[in-house]
Structure 1
Amino acid sequence: MENIYVNNIIRLMEKDLQSIIRLSESVGWDYDEKEIKTILLSGKIFGHIDQNGTIISSAAIIPYEENLASLGMVIVNPKYRRRGLASSVVKKCLSVVPKGTKILLISTEKGLSLYRKLGFVKVGYVSKYICEQWRDTNRIINCNKNKVVKMEEKHFSDVCVLDRESFGARRSTYLYNRIKQSEKSFVSLDKEGNINGFGLSILGKENLILGPIIANTYEIATLITERLVNGYLGRVRIDVPSGNEEYMSFVESKGFSIINTPPVMILNSKDLPARNQTLYSISAQAFG
């Protein structure tokens, strides 16, 4: 079929919020205004339009520091699939970052073939968990070693350092925007008042989303998780990177079930950036 839309790519802006939401709903995804605004503030979104100016595809690129970026929100309206739109909008995203930039991506199963053709390789996976009702065990949240408190502006620089060591690249712009979006944000302090972990929760359209959760130990990660969920009665989502089996057992004990395990892929590298094994949950698939 001749494709008359493949070159009709525009940069999407805040005025396109409702159109992007409708596009995401066409494939059963639950993006809302706050989530899309955070992506727009942190990166760029591109998409195809049809002859009526309707947005029929999207893809987002979020540049981080240290030669790394994240690709996400790759959507094509089901009526316009198999016309090369996904490939062309992804290539547009790749064209706006410096050549050779490492690109992180969390793929859907349907997208695997496309991303492999573009040169992405699989380097891990995340376990997507959903909990219909958090099982509260009335655990004491603070202990003698660590204290979980609300995040304040004075904590931001130390939070950025923890995030950089955990994720493998500094991403201060994204973190600033994500914290502003968050429903709750906490840090864990040791006896000397040093930050040894932090976590955010995001109230989405369908779920309370937990992440990122970054902590120097498994115990700290569980304390932060419990504080983020404390008092919430709805459905909760958390995406856990591979290699966190003990933490996965913890969330499963709280009522979470695995929905799927999408692969983590990367372009222009064979491995993930160097990480220190303190990333217990990612913020969202669009952010890597």
Structure 2
Amino acid sequence: MTSVDALTFDDLTPDDMEAVLNLSGEAGWTQVADDWRLMMGLGYCAGFRDPSGVPIASGVALPMDDRYGWVSMVLVTRDWQRKGLATRIVDKCCEWLEEKGIMPLLDATPDGRTVYSQMGFHDLLSISRWRREGGDFGGEVTASPARAEALTWIADYDAKAFGAHRPSILGDLMTRGPAFVVDHEAGFLLGREGRGVTQLGPVSANDEAIAKSLLDTAVASISGTITIDAFDAQEGFASNLTTCGFAVQRGFTRMIRGPVRTMGDPTLAYAAAGPELG
């Protein structure tokens, strides 16, 4: 097999779309070309190429604003795993953010958490991915579709709940999947179509009843499989997910490289946008 020394670390661009989709597909992840295009356009996407120039590993550093950024899409094709490539990619992505004064965060799997803890990351909070396989849902529809002009207040509300201002990301999500709001700017839910699944999130709301209204409306609008990454601290929202037919699939730990701090207002945040988008 070719030596690691023969690999080239390089930027990845939309010209590499087929290769990066193969990487996420091989891992069983649900990202589609629109997800990769968004991250490549707003952040730094890089990885290793084999001697023929084909990407065999990837990573993304995605600034949220001038304070916080996400490290994600750390993927290594099967034949090149356990050779230290993922660690090197995470270091490169963190360096790219930190050179701009941006603090790196990520949502780690249990295995990833062990590695990232040794790289200066510290736990912030826990997240569970819930999955619903589809079928009829008789929940009450009380939220309204989000109009384009709602982006301004949605971005401001999200910044309060999430802790960073990311209108470009939210605006992209509003064009790609479920997007619902509650009157008087009391909460919102966004989502996106992935490979074989609809990912719901972020979900932010003034209280649990509003979050439930948004969830019920979204689930009623989708016939296929749904996933949502819900914050474990919102125990009442977890009960609503169970009522809607969701079951826990796996867990994540949100981690930060730098001083541990509370981001945003966790009482308003019910679900994340996903490990790649925060």
1:249-280 deviation line (CA, Å, top 9, x unaligned)? 00111111101112111111213424241111
* 1:176 counterpart = 2:171: yes
Task: Compute the displacement of 1:130 (Å).
Answer: 0.6
1:217-266 deviation line (CA, Å, top 9, x unaligned)? 11111111122222422111111012110000001111111011121111
**1:79 aligns to what SS in structure 2?**
helix
**Contact 1:209/1:237 (<8 A) preserved:** yes
Which stretch shows the higher mean deviation, 246-255 or 194-203?
194-203
Question: Unpaired runs of 5+ in structure 2?
Answer: none
Aligned partner (choices 166, 170, 178) of residue 161 of structure 2: 166
Q: Distance in 2 between the 1:134 and 1:161 partners? A: 34
1:75-105 deviation line (CA, Å, top 9, x unaligned)? 1112112222111111221122244522111
> Structure 1's 272 and 16: CA in aligned 2 closer, same or farther, altered over 3 A?
farther
Amino acid in structure 2 at the alignment position of 1:123: L
The match for 2:97 is: 97
**Contact 1:134/1:255 (<8 A) preserved:** no
* 1:15 counterpart = 2:35: no
Task: Compute the displacement of 1:61 (Å).
Answer: 1.0
The match for 1:117 is: 118
Question: Unpaired runs of 5+ in structure 1?
Answer: 143-147
Task: Compute the displacement of 1:2 (Å).
Answer: 5.5
**Contact 1:106/1:263 (<8 A) preserved:** yes
> Structure 1's 89 and 222: CA in aligned 2 closer, same or farther, altered over 3 A?
same
Q: TM-score, normalised by structure 2?
A: 0.93
* 1:211 counterpart = 2:201: yes
Q: Distance in 1 between the 2:66 and 2:81 partners? A: 35
* 1:3 counterpart = 2:4: yes
Aligned partner (choices 216, 219, 228) of residue 229 of structure 1: 219
The match for 1:128 is: 129
Count of residue pairs the alignment pairs up: 276
Task: Compute the displacement of 1:132 (Å).
Answer: 0.9
Task: Compute the displacement of 1:5 (Å).
Answer: 4.5
Amino acid in structure 2 at the alignment position of 1:12: L
The match for 1:197 is: 187
**1:250 aligns to what SS in structure 2?**
helix
**Contact 1:47/1:57 (<8 A) preserved:** yes
Amino acid in structure 1 at the alignment position of 2:4: N
**Contact 2:148/2:174 (<8 A) preserved:** no
Amino acid in structure 1 at the alignment position of 2:156: V
**2:276 aligns to what SS in structure 1?**
helix
Aligned partner (choices 188, 198, 205) of residue 182 of structure 2: 188
The match for 1:145 is: none
Q: Distance in 2 between the 1:93 and 1:259 partners? A: 28
Q: How does 1:245-256 map to 2 (within 5 A)?
A: 245-256=235-246
Amino acid in structure 2 at the alignment position of 1:151: A
Q: Distance in 2 between the 1:138 and 1:108 partners? A: 32
Q: Which runs of 4+ in 1 moved over 4 A?
A: none
Q: Distance in 2 between the 1:116 and 1:161 partners? A: 32
* 1:280 counterpart = 2:274: no
Task: Compute the displacement of 1:151 (Å).
Answer: 1.5
Task: Compute the displacement of 1:51 (Å).
Answer: 0.7
**Contact 2:30/2:197 (<8 A) preserved:** no
Amino acid in structure 2 at the alignment position of 1:44: Y
1:176-208 deviation line (CA, Å, top 9, x unaligned)? 22223x22212111xxxx311111121111211
Amino acid in structure 2 at the alignment position of 1:104: L
> Structure 1's 5 and 113: CA in aligned 2 closer, same or farther, altered over 3 A?
farther
CA-atom RMSD in angstroms: 1.8
Amino acid in structure 2 at the alignment position of 1:95: E
> Structure 1's 246 and 268: CA in aligned 2 closer, same or farther, altered over 3 A?
same
Q: Distance in 1 between the 2:269 and 2:220 partners? A: 21
